[in-house]
Amino acid sequence: MRAAVLILAAILFLLLPGHPVRGHDLVADEYISRYRELENKFPGTFYMSGNREKQKVALSFDDGPSPQHTPEILDILAEYSVPATFFLLGQEAAEHTWLVERIAREGHELGNHSYTHRNFTGLEWSAVEEEIRRTGQLIDDITGEYPRLVRPPYGGVTIGQLQRFEQSDYKLVNWSVDAGDYEEENQPEILLARIQLQMHPGAIILLHDGGGDRSSTIRILPELIEMLQDEGFTFTTVGELIDSNYY
Ligand SMILES: [Zn+2]
């Protein structure tokens, strides 16, 4: 499938110069330029990727935990001994605490993806705080560790909210590589081609283990891991990837 993926990546690139991918609701290059600006404006608070000098990357999974998909994803990660970061939705974590326990027990990192998946850009600060606190407390109750990494739903956050986050010890983490596995066009070859087109050292790769049918995500995972390992990348957690002390 590797050759097919490369050919498809080339076709996507030629057909849609500059706009090969949609990142949630923003076209990729708009997303990248807007969020790079925020990353520069809020160092230590807002991240979309890690150290670009090292051949390290992080897989991140949003919107779970999901009893349909998370166990299979954990099995694949275990088979390859690859760590990942799971940005959990509080309302899902509350329903499936055994999965939260399993993710933590298997050495993966837990992050906070809010309680109800409302876009922060439409919320008052007090509501944002409540979404994060409720989810963080729940994860702490289950695992004994309060997560400090937050991924805002849809990647949405306002400047005013970032200024508040700057005063806190939370770190907001979006992504630099978007598989688009939530799109209708999510056949395995398309997902791999999208990732291939965007890859770079220090990448934070956005995938989903919840929020819909994730069978394509599960299907590509072994090949994705092998493809990136063949290219010389090693996997780490988001927390380690963005931690300057780690290198
Ligand atoms: Zn989400």
Q: How confident is the model at residue 51 (pLDDT cuts 50, 70, 90)?
A: confident
In this structure, is residue 116 part of a structural domain?
A: yes
State mean pLDDT over 184-199.
93
State the chain's mean pLDDT as an integer. 90
Q: What is the pLDDT of residue 11?
A: 55
* Ligand 1 centroid distance, CA of 110 (Å): 14
Of residues 61 and 6, more confidently modeled: 61
In this structure, is residue 230 part of a structural domain?
A: yes
Does 245 score more than 80 pLDDT? Answer: no
In this structure, is residue 26 part of a structural domain?
A: no
In this structure, is residue 63 part of a structural domain?
A: yes
Identify the active-site residue in 19, 62, 117, 169: 62
- Identify whether the C-beta of residue 199 lies closer than 8 Å to the C-beta of residue 193: no
Of residues 231 and 51, more confidently modeled: 231
Q: What is the pLDDT of residue 182?
A: 92
State mean pLDDT over 6-34.
57
Number of folded domains that form the chain: 1
Q: What is the pLDDT of residue 178?
A: 95
Q: What is the pLDDT of residue 30?
A: 82
* Ligand 1 centroid distance, CA of 3 (Å): 31
Long-range contacts of residues 134-140, Cβ cutoff 8 Å, at least 24 apart? 134/90, 135/88, 135/89, 135/90, 135/93, 136/112, 138/90, 138/93, 138/94, 139/88, 139/93, 139/100, 139/110, 139/112
Does 213 score more than 50 pLDDT? Answer: yes
- Identify whether the C-beta of residue 200 lies closer than 8 Å to the C-beta of residue 232: no
Identify the active-site residue in 113, 208, 213, 230: 208
φ and ψ of 56, to 5 deg: -115, 145
Query: Looking at residue 89, which CATH number applies to its domain?
Result: 3.20.20.370
Verify whether residue 62 is a known catalytic residue.
yes
* Ligand 1 centroid distance, CA of 244 (Å): 26
In this structure, is residue 40 part of a structural domain?
A: no
* Ligand 1 centroid distance, CA of 126 (Å): 20
Q: What is the pLDDT of residue 6?
A: 63
* Ligand 1 centroid distance, CA of 42 (Å): 22
* Ligand 1 centroid distance, CA of 60 (Å): 11
**pLDDT tens per residue across span 110-137:** 999 999 999 999 999 999 999 999 999 9
* Ligand 1 centroid distance, CA of 75 (Å): 22
In this structure, is residue 236 part of a structural domain?
A: yes
Range of the domain at 206: 2-17+47-246
Does 3 score more than 80 pLDDT? Answer: no
In this structure, is residue 163 part of a structural domain?
A: yes
* Ligand 1 centroid distance, CA of 206 (Å): 10
- Identify whether the C-beta of residue 66 lies closer than 8 Å to the C-beta of residue 92: yes
In this structure, is residue 148 part of a structural domain?
A: yes
Does 247 score more than 50 pLDDT? Answer: no
pTM: 0.90
* Ligand 1 centroid distance, CA of 153 (Å): 5
State mean pLDDT over 170-190.
94
Cα–Cα distance, 199 to 205 (Å, whole number): 8
